[in-house]
Structure 1
Amino acid sequence: MSNGLSDARFLTVAEVAEMMRVSKMTVYRHVHSGDLPAIRFGRSFRVPESAVIAVLNNPVADAGESSA
């Protein structure tokens, strides 16, 4: 029987940045803002792969659109 944690895969900030095609600083901003969940190990962060996939699959509004 699996508890789910043994199946979880965690990625480094560099791996997440490569997957998302953004800079590492952008990933850190998402982590610190809470938009991307992460676990801290010492001075580094690990992001669940499932969270990255969820963000990539979530449709986002065009940056040029205004809400007014």
Structure 2
Amino acid sequence: MEEEKTESTIKTSGATTPLLLSVPEARKKLGGISKWSLYQLINSRQLESIRIGRRRLIPQIALESFINQRSREDNA
């Protein structure tokens, strides 16, 4: 799989994935959970986020890690 990295996206086999997701984008990727639930995950440090200016952003890799961790816990 060929990857081309830019400042804000990763291009993998023709598809471009942003490195950072907004709160609405992250909510959508987590199955449409509520904004409150997402902030609970962030505040409890279960989901990593960063702040740039006034924006709260979730790294794509942190979202993938969270999903993988939850998947392992549910299958244990």
Matched, 1:35 2:13: no
Q: CA RMSD in A?
A: 2.3
What is the distance in 2 between the residues matched to 1:14 and 1:28?
11
Q: Unaligned regions of 5+ residues in structure 2, if any? A: 11-17
Counting matched residue pairs gives 59
Structure with a larger share of its residues in strand? 2
TM-score (norm 1): 0.69
Q: Unaligned regions of 5+ residues in structure 1, if any? A: 63-68
* % identical equivalent positions: 26
Q: In the TM superposition, what are the counterparts of 1:39-54 in structure 2 within 5 Å?
A: 39-54=50-65
Q: Choose which of 25, 31, 34 in structure 2 pairs with 1:23.
A: 34
Question: Higher relative CO (CA 8 A, sep ≥ 6), structure 1 or 2?
Answer: 1
- The equivalent of 1:65 in structure 2 is none
Matched, 1:9 2:19: yes
